[in-house]
Chain A
């Protein structure tokens, strides 16, 4: 077969779109298996009361409380038991894209309390299905809120460009607030560090290796399953259709069809 050149711009677009379609279709299709696994795991596990939690794969529901004093989220200034934050700068010099210059988490362990007791939750390796609650883009001429300015100064981050204009920053934050209702599906394991006087169960929730799942969200179980049920046919049917459509697009753009 001779090397075929894409000398018409619409053939070029057809090829590129086709390639995107195939890649996106494959990712969508494969993610469908993950959705299916998670949906089945949630459906097949009954909710435990924390007081009678047993070692092994468990599903619990309760309110988040801090281990010690409530923390303050760095960008929003709101109290939280867990916070994941990221500061990005728009890179003018080279990539013209956002670059992460600082990120971190606070409160990687906290307690979950229901009406029977409390248990420690570790967020390590968890899939945290919690929407981003804070997003602030600072433009060249924007006034920087005091709390964000204090953060930049404390962390010795240069925020002015030559000419006196601000650098372009994006502040994002995802947090779990005190007394926020959470759903946790993971493995209850023996906790050797718990203070018995705190009244907490001597267990800690963490990632389960077999089956491979650890899921924390602030949505109720019914809503989680509704979302997964809606996504599943899209992933398992639309994925293959995109692969097929992408392949056809490439074939016609190359003049093979």
Chain B
């Protein structure tokens, strides 16, 4: 084998190494994205737990004032129980949607109770829960972005082949707002 042939083989070998490196980075990227989705869900879970812990204080603070809103308070208690008993991600998402809807209703109806609105305790709780809701909204958006990027990655040309070998062929579901949550809260006077 002459020297020129050896050099050509070295060049081809180096380009092949580059190609293999690319395949390895595709594999590592899919692993990273999969773990990013798990992490972003865990971060949502942490905030849901914090919100969940605030709910009993909220229910206690409004119970005395909102005597005629028993139905609403019961809905909140049921939603909280559903969250406690949730066995998987889908059930937690459903419970989260129920809690968000119930919270929206409580804060809207509280407008009818000036004494409650003026209560320091209620104001603090409302502020804390609003802050948590804002963070939750951001983290749901982040979760959906992470899922979207993963779904694009496993369907792109060439990367799809590596994803298929790793068993990643199914798109992951995103956080979706329930039809009920899209409706405006009806306030009855």
Contacts and interface: CB of A to CB of B under 8 A. Distances in A.
Interface of A: 29, 32-33, 36-37, 40-41, 43-49, 51-52, 54, 56, 116, 236-237, 239-241, 243-244, 247-248, 251, 256-257
B14 A29 contact: yes
B29 interface: yes
Given A37-B25, A51-B138, A116-B138, A46 B36 contact: yes
Interface stretch (B71-79, B117-125, B139-147, B167-175): B139-147
Interface in B46-102: none
B177 interface: no
Contacts, number: 85
B185 interface: no
B138 A239 contact: no
B15 A237 contact: yes
Contacts of A43: 29, 149, 153
Interface in B125-162: 134-136, 138-139, 141-142, 145-146, 148-149, 153
A42 B8 CA distance: 34
Which secondary structure characterizes the binding site on chain A?
helix
Interface in B28-55: 28-29, 32-33, 36, 39-40, 43
Contacts of B142: 46-49, 52
Contacts of B8: 244
Please classify how large the interface on chain B is, using the bins under 10, 10 to 19, 20 to 34, 35 or more.
20 to 34
Given A40-B25, A40-B29, A248-B4, A46 B11 contact: no
A48 B22 CA distance: 27
A243 B138 contact: no
Closest 6 A-B residue pairs measured CB to CB?
A: A52-B138, A240-B14, A46-B145, A236-B18, A244-B11, A49-B138
A247 to B, nearest CB: 5
A52 B4 CA distance: 59
A56 B46 CA distance: 15
B10 interface: yes
